[in-house]
């Protein structure tokens, strides 16, 4: 258990944002910035999405006690956030910031890059087939899972849709991760954004595999989908596997927490099922600390 967690009603609680980013403009390609602009109403995307220095990140993370941060690397999209950039930031704020590595499995030396990132102090791995153009069952990806498992790194997947024009949806379905879970049952895996729009697939998958989790990041601004995901997770009995995440800079932990607390406003005055208070409290305060207990103390 982490040393600075708070004991409340006999349970350890710790607010952790498990999904957030830092990057500078020069780490992103013009094609990616253009795609981002298209998703945000056309034209150029707002500066706060394109230039995300550690100072801006740290300010946004005042709403939580710990956060997981990573960049993004994709040879095909021209995304090149250095792992050293993330590692330096995390090391400077090691009481609050946990850095994850990102490697592109298509790069020949990706396993070596992962070893280097671990040596720099990074404690998890971000993978994103739809941004990195690899199939989760591909042999070049398998060597990365083996290396992550050997290092005891949790893997956080962007496994769901996204806004980039050419990112292949056929590699993005969360069900593709079942084979990874069966082959590496000890590997902690977190499916970002509840695998949207395939949240039902994500929910049945995490129900079957005890080391699989999902984060709720970047979903609350589609309130009907957000509400339905949480109700479905309750019906399948997997709410303890849902983790707080913001996907900063796309949204913030403060806004995400507020949206969770107010999720039932949408159905006020109806007979529709409610998202329970213990579901909301677990996501905000408990589940991420339990899921990441192995690496938080490191
Ligand atoms: Zn993200």
The pLDDT value recorded for residue 165 is 84
> How remote is the CA of residue 18 from the centroid of ligand 1, in Å?
10
For the chain, percent of residues with pLDDT exceeding 90? 89
The pLDDT value recorded for residue 10 is 45
Lowest average pLDDT, out of 2-16, 31-45, 136-150, 165-179, goes to 2-16
CATH code of 266's domain = 3.20.20.140
Taking the CB of residue 90, how many other CB atoms lie within 10 A of it?
24
> How remote is the CA of residue 288 from the centroid of ligand 1, in Å?
16
> How remote is the CA of residue 256 from the centroid of ligand 1, in Å?
14
- Strand 125-127 with 155-157, pairing: parallel
> How remote is the CA of residue 9 from the centroid of ligand 1, in Å?
33
* Separation CA 155–CA 44 (nearest Å): 32
> How remote is the CA of residue 73 from the centroid of ligand 1, in Å?
12
Integer CA distances (angstroms), 176 to 137, 181, 201, 228, in order: 7, 10, 10, 23
The parent domain of residue 198 ranges over 6-296
Structurally, the chain folds into a number of domains equal to 1
> How remote is the CA of residue 19 from the centroid of ligand 1, in Å?
6
Confidence band for 298, pLDDT divided at 50, 70 and 90: low
DSSP string, 38-73: HHTTSSSPPHHHH-B-HHHHHHHGGGSSEEEEE--E
Q: Is the pLDDT of residue 2 over 70?
A: no
* Separation CA 31–CA 165 (nearest Å): 10
> How remote is the CA of residue 273 from the centroid of ligand 1, in Å?
30
pLDDT tens, residue by residue, 234-291? 999 999 999 999 999 999 999 999 999 999 999 999 999 999 999 999 999 999 999 9
Is 229:219 a contact under the CB 8 Å cutoff?
yes
Confidence band for 44, pLDDT divided at 50, 70 and 90: confident
pLDDT tens, residue by residue, 84-112? 999 999 999 999 999 999 999 999 999 99
The pLDDT value recorded for residue 261 is 98
Residue 1 in any domain: the answer is no
């Amino acid at each position: 258990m982490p040393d600075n967690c708070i004991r409340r009603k006999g349970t350890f609680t710790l607010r952790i944002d498990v999904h957030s980013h830092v990057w500078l403009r020069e780490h992103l390609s013009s094609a990616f910035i253009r795609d981002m602009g298209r998703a945000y109403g056309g034209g150029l995307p707002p500066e706060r999405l394109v230039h995300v220095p550690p100072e801006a990140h740290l300010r946004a993370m005042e709403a939580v006690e710990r956060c997981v941060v990573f960049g993004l690397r994709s040879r095909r999209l021209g995304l090149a956030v250095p792992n050293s950039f993330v590692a330096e930031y995390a090391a400077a704020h090691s009481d609050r910031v946990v850095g994850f590595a990102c490697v592109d499995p298509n790069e020949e030396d990706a396993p070596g890059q992962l070893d280097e990132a671990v040596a720099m102090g990074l404690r998890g791995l971000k993978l994103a087939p739809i941004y990195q153009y690899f199939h989760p069952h591909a042999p070049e990806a398998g060597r990365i899972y083996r290396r992550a498992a050997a290092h005891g790194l949790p893997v956080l997947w962007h496994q769901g849709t996204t806004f980039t024009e050419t990112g292949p949806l056929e590699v993005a379905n969360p069900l593709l991760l079942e084979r990874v879970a069966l082959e590496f049952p000890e590997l902690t895996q977190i499916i970002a954004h509840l695998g949207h729009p395939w949240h039902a697939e994500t929910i049945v998958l995490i129900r079957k595999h005890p080391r699989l989790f999902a984060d709720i990041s970047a979903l609350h601004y589609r309130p009907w989908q957000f509400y339905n995901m949480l109700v479905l997770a309750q019906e399948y009995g997997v709410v303890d596997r849902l983790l707080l995440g913001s996907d900063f800079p796309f949204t913030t932990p403060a806004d995400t927490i507020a949206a969770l607390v107010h999720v039932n406003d949408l159905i006020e005055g109806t007979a529709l099922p409610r998202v329970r208070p213990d579901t909301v409290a677990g996501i905000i305060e408990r589940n991420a600390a339990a899921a990441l207990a192995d690496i938080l103390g490191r």
